[in-house]
Amino acid sequence: MNEPPKEPVKYVQSHVYLPYHYVAGDYRARYLRALKDKKILGSKCSRTGKVFVPPLLNSPESFAPATEFVEVADKGVITTFCIVNIPVIGRDLQIPYVAASVALDGAALSIFALILEVQPEAVRMGMRVEAVWKPDGERHGDHEDIMYFRPTGEPDEPMESFIRRL
């Protein structure tokens, strides 16, 4: 223990441990709680009426508060997407899979979503998709409550309808 090291010290390893306590905040807490009841909530800009999902406390565009909470549909349109060919540590997904931006009906912003039950090559911008929820009694009010989205089979939407909601 007290002998001098035979080799010069080349590096020192030190571990950093930073514990955190997550506060969802007023808006995110309401959003997460509603997922348990298969409801997706957005907040409505008091000036422009645009609905943000997940809810934002103010419109970044108009700067007005978004105080009213409204429910949006659990289906929408793929606005843009990519095909993932590298595995993500901690995610047990078979590659390739599709990660997409989905603008839910009634929402001015899109959310990120996993798209399954379709061949990656068949996914298109404008494709209609719907949420696949965890069964009743298994939802906890977190993002995993929506397992993924899948095509509805409805006709595609034209790009003009979603180009401002990417």
Give the residue, chosen from 1, 18, 86, 89, that forms a contact with another protein under the rule CB under 8 A.
18
Smallest distance, another protein to C-beta of residue 164, A:
15
Give the residue, chosen from 16, 86, 121, 136, that forms a contact with another protein under the rule CB under 8 A.
16
Contact segment (CB under 8 A) with another protein among 50-58, 79-87, 105-113, 141-149 equals 50-58
Binding status of residue 61 toward another protein by CB under 8 A: yes
Contact between 65 and 57 under an 8 Å Cβ cutoff? The reply is yes
Output phi, psi for 91, to 5 deg: -115, 125
What letters, b where the CB count within 10 A reaches 16 and e where it falls short, cover 119-142?
A: ebeebebebbbbbeebeeeebeee
Structure tokens at 156: 């595609």
Binding status of residue 93 toward another protein by CB under 8 A: no
Three-state secondary structure call for residue 107: coil
Q: Using the minimum distance from each CB to another protein, give the nearer residue, 29 or 82.
A: 29
Query: Cα(114)–Cα(56) distance, rounded to whole angstroms?
Result: 22
CB count, 10 Å around CB of 16?
Answer: 4
Binding status of residue 21 toward another protein by CB under 8 A: yes
Give the residue, chosen from 32, 58, 75, 132, that forms a contact with another protein under the rule CB under 8 A.
58
Binding status of residue 112 toward another protein by CB under 8 A: no
Query: Cα(57)–Cα(104) distance, rounded to whole angstroms?
Result: 19
Smallest distance, another protein to C-beta of residue 17, A:
7
Q: Using the minimum distance from each CB to another protein, give the nearer residue, 111 or 129.
A: 111
| Residues near another protein, by CB under 8 A | 12, 14, 16-29, 56-58, 60-61, 63, 65
